Amino acid sequence: MQILTLLSFLMMFVASLIVSSRLLLLARATRGLPEFALGLSLFALTGIGYPSMIAGERMSSVPMIVVGMVALNAGMLLLALFVQRVFRPTDLWAKGLLGCLALSALVQVIVSTRSTMALIGSEELGVPLQAHLEFRMLTVLIGIVYLWAAIESLSYRRALLRRIALGLGDPIVANRLALWGIMALVSGSAALFNTIATWQNPDAMQSTSALLVNTLGGSADAVLLLLAFVPPKAYLEWVGAPAQTEEA
Amino acid sequence: MADSALFNAVCDALVGATSFDRLEARGTIRLALKASGLDTATVTNTQMRVVIDRVLPDELTARGIVDVQAVSRRLDAVVTSTASEAIASDSPEAIFQRLGGEPRI
């Protein structure tokens, strides 16, 4: 099971790198903030954050853990920025939430860096990261931001489906919103599941149920991410087919 | 977000074409837009025209308006005479369309 979990993690890692580099190239051409924020967020979270944290924990490397913490906080904040700018650009509450998350990320980085640096030479360095309050708080925040992304995407898709029924929307865009929304829902739920599972027992991540959740979640996320942002032509033709048939 | 000029113009026209007061007219158009997955701030002329032709007639009939076709024609004329606004490039729909596009280097 551990090999399957590792494989699903690698799938997610590769998918995130492909999608983030594509979005960052797109941002270079369009100068659009949403594509820049989402591309960098995926890169920070899955390209740097989680791998650094896992490697840092295994190798008891404080610098890697610190780099991971900073990347995860930055990724969480960029993801929240993407959601706010795309779905709630003028809502005061969303701007306030983004401000709170920025403050929280800053505090997280300062506190976690100081507490991790204090572990140098200590036996506590071998303790799983999930046992540390700062890491738990961070995964809760990541989970909440992903769930916010899921709620906004899936709600907007519902409105878009009503437009499509009147011939006023693009089914491919509706499908992309669904894929991204489900991917965010899976990621957010997995982050919260892991936090709850390890709250009492920091070693719970090695249990069969936790490995199963993370294996299935990681694999599903990788496929959803690729279909949403690097869709094969055949997939786009299949998704767009009903609209084309109606037009004909 | 503030209501668009187009929404306000159509609501005013509905007040003039029916026995509705301002509140009823705005509520009726707002419900028709909501049923179509649109909102009062970002609706475009093309979208409004489709709503007037395909969604609003049922709303008007349900509220006791008899000559629905005549009312729709008046509202269509108002849409035509109101300055056209393009779909905002920063709408979620436009952004998600862009996110799946080919990056040009």
Which of A84, A148, A168, A226 to mutate to probe the B interface, most B CBs <10 Å?
A: A168
Counting other chains too, the contacts that A164-169 makes at CB distance below 8 Å and 24 or more residues apart are A164/A243, A166/B36, A166/B50, A166/B51, A166/B54, A166/B55, A167/A246, A167/B50, A168/B36, A168/B37, A168/B38, A168/B46, A168/B47, A168/B50, A169/B37, A169/B93
C-alpha distance from B6 to closest chain A C-alpha (Å): 17
Distance between CA atoms of B105 and B99, rounded to whole angstroms? 15
Instruction: Report the pLDDT value the prediction gives residue A133, as an integer from 0 to 100.
Output: 74
Average pLDDT, stretch B37-52?
92
Instruction: Report the pLDDT value the prediction gives residue B105, as an integer from 0 to 100.
Output: 43
Q: Is the pLDDT of residue A52 over 60?
A: yes
Average pLDDT, stretch A130-158?
89
Instruction: Report the pLDDT value the prediction gives residue A247, as an integer from 0 to 100.
Output: 46
pLDDT band at B76 (very low <50, low <70, confident <90, very high): very high
**Average pLDDT of the residues of chain A:** 88
Instruction: Report the pLDDT value the prediction gives residue A126, as an integer from 0 to 100.
Output: 59
Distance between CA atoms of B46 and B69, rounded to whole angstroms? 18
pTM of this prediction?
0.87
In this structure, what DSSP letter does residue B34 have? H
Distance between CA atoms of B36 and B47, rounded to whole angstroms? 9
Q: Is B12 exposed, middle or buried (0-12, 13-18, 19+ CB in 10 A)?
A: middle
* Closest chain B residue to A227, measured at CA: B100
Render pLDDT for A79-107 as a digit per residue (tens, 0 to 9). 999 999 999 998 999 999 999 999 999 99
Render pLDDT for A112-137 as a digit per residue (tens, 0 to 9). 888 877 776 666 665 666 667 777 88
SS3 assignment, position A205: helix
Is the Cβ–Cβ distance between A143 and A149 less than 8 Å? no
B88 near A CB under 8 A = no
Average pLDDT, stretch A41-66?
88
Instruction: Report the pLDDT value the prediction gives residue B98, as an integer from 0 to 100.
Output: 92
What are the φ and ψ backbone dihedral angles of A158, each rounded to 5 degrees? -60, -40
Of A89, A160, A180, which is closest to B93 when you measure between CB atoms?
A160
Distance between CA atoms of A188 and A234, rounded to whole angstroms? 29
Average pLDDT, stretch B77-86?
82
User: pLDDT exceeding 70 applies to what percent of chain B?
Assistant: 90
Of B1, B51, B96, which is closest to A176 when you measure between CB atoms?
B96
* Closest chain A residue to B100, measured at CA: A229
Tokens 């049922």, located at residue = B58
Q: Looking at beta carbons, which residues of chain B come within 8 Å of A180?
A: 96
